[in-house]
Amino acid sequence: MTYTSLMVHVDPEAEKSAILDISVDLAKLFDAKVIGVAACQPLQLLYVDAYVPPEIIDQNQIDMEKMLKQAGAQFYAAMQGRAPRCEWRASVTVDALANYFAGQSGTADLFITQRASHQNAFDRPQHLNLGDFVMRSGRPVLIIPPDASRVALDHVVVAWKETREARRAIADAIPLLGKARRVTIATIVPEEEENSAQMGLEDIVGWLKGHHVKADSRVLAAAGRDTDMLADFLLEQQADLVVAGAYGHNRLREWVFGGMTADLLLSSGYSVLLSH
C-alpha cells in the first residue's frame, strides 16, 4: 500500500508556512502527486440589515480572487523542480469550507493541513473547521502543528481502541507506518481487561506484519483521564506522530467530539493522523 496522491490545504490568509515543504517531503517519500487546494468565503451578508453598496461586494470578490492567486503562486513556487507531480485548485465558495474541502478530498489518498496558531480547530467560518472536515471528508487527515518544519517518523504511536474508527485509522496509516523507524500500538483499558486487550493487540501486530510493518504493543491500565494518560505516554515515548480514530456525533448540525478527539484536534505538540 502507498499514497499516490496527497492533497495539501493552503491557507490564503496565512504567511508562508512549512506545510508546502512538508508536502514535498512526503511526495518524494511516496512518489506521489501533490494537489494544492485553497478556498475563501465571500463577504457574509446573511445577518446584515444595513444597505451594503454593490462596489463593496465586488471589491471583496476581487480581494478573494487575488488572495487565491497569490496562494497558487506560492504553491507552484514551492513545488517547482521538487515534487514529482503537482496540481492547483482554488475557489471562492459560499459553502462552508469544511464541505468544500471534503468534496475535493475524494481525489487524494491523504489530506494534509496545518493547525493554525491564531485559531482553534472549531473557529469562525472564514477558516477551515478541522473537526467538521475530519468527520465529513472520508479520507485520512494529517494535521501538522503550526511550528513544525517536517513530519518525523522516528516513532509513530497508534492510539488503539476496539472500534471501527480505530480500525479505519490504522489501515489508512499503513503507508506512513511502513516508513517509520518504530511503531507502537497502545491502548488504555481497565485493569481487569488487560489480558484480553493484550491478545487483541497481538492480533493487530500480526496483521501489520503482513503489511511489512513491525510494531510493538503496550497496554496501559486506566488510572485517570484517558487523554491525560495518552499525553504522558506520548511524552515518555518521544512520539513524533499519533494515529487515531476520530470520534464524534452530529447534534443540531454541530459535531460533538469525545475528549480524545478534541484534544488531538486542539493539541499543538504532535502531528496527528485522524480518520473517521
Q: Which of 16, 12, 156 is nearest to 97 (CA)?
A: 12
Number of helices and strands (H, E) in the chain?
9, 12
Alpha-carbon dihedral sign for residues 117, 118, 123, 126: negative
Type of residue at 218: R
Q: What pLDDT is attached to residue 12?
A: 86
Q: What pLDDT is attached to residue 268?
A: 56
In order of start, what are the domains of the chain with their CATH numbers? 5-144 (3.40.50.620), 156-275 (3.40.50.620)
The residue ranges of the chain whose pLDDT is under 50 are: 46, 120-125, 252-256
Q: What pLDDT is attached to residue 250?
A: 59
pLDDT digits (tens, 9 = 90+) for 1-45: 899 999 999 988 877 678 999 999 999 999 999 999 999 888 665
pLDDT digits (tens, 9 = 90+) for 227-252: 788 888 888 999 999 999 887 655 54
Torsion of CA 120, 126, 130, 132, to 10 degrees: 120
Cell (9 digits) for 237: 515515548
Type of residue at 80: Q
User: Long-range contacts: 248-256, Cβ < 8 Å, 24+?
Assistant: 248/131, 248/135, 248/276, 250/135, 255/131, 255/132, 255/135
Beta bridge partners of 114: 144
